[in-house]
Amino acid sequence: MTDDVIHLGPNQDLRVVSSTPERLVLEARWRQGDPPPAHFHPSQQEHFEVLEGELMVVIGDDPPRHLHAGDALEIPQGTVHRMWNALPSEARAAWEIMPAQRTEELFRTVAAGVRPEDAGRMLEEFSAEIRLAS
């Protein structure tokens, strides 16, 4: 278990609970913010369980829906989605990514800062982990 926090911009923090090649387990905190870009993970599935607060999620072309504390969500590999906190109060969720692949490295790279001119190169480097939907 590691206690360091990965700051993914002003609205999201991640704490790595455990990291193995098979599974990355995180505790994520979201502050109010805009939706992230729609994206998918070509060979990973995700599991979210909302621990407190409320998150908005859009899967594919479905309308946005609210997830409340106690709600769980599975996102199969290859499924376009986005998730964010639209409310002023903080939201917190347990988040599992299977298999982990290089996702922790991806998050740490984003947290270190990616210049706009380097974003395409970063997405190419981590294309096994994440791809933008458009």
Question: What residue segments make up the domains of the chain, in order of their start?
Answer: 5-132
Stretch 72-92: mean pLDDT: 97
Residue with tokens 């190169």: 121
Average pLDDT of span 14-21: 96
Task: Report how far residue 132's alpha carbon sits from residue 124's, in angstroms, rounded to the nearest whole number.
Answer: 10
Q: Which class would CATH give 5-132?
A: mainly beta
Q: What pLDDT sits at residue 122?
A: 95
Asked if the model's pLDDT at residue 123 lies above 90, the reply is yes
Q: Are 19 and 108 contacting, i.e. CB atoms less than 8 angstroms apart? A: no
pTM above 0.85, yes or no: yes
Neighbours of 34 (CB within 10 A): 7
Tell me the percentage of the chain whose pLDDT exceeds 70: 98
The H or E element containing residue 26 is strand 24-30
Which residue in this structure is represented by tokens 């458009």? 134
Q: What is the pLDDT of residue 2?
A: 47
What would the pLDDT profile of 85-101 be if each residue is shown by its tens digit? 999 999 999 999 999 99
CB 37 within 8 A of CB 82: yes
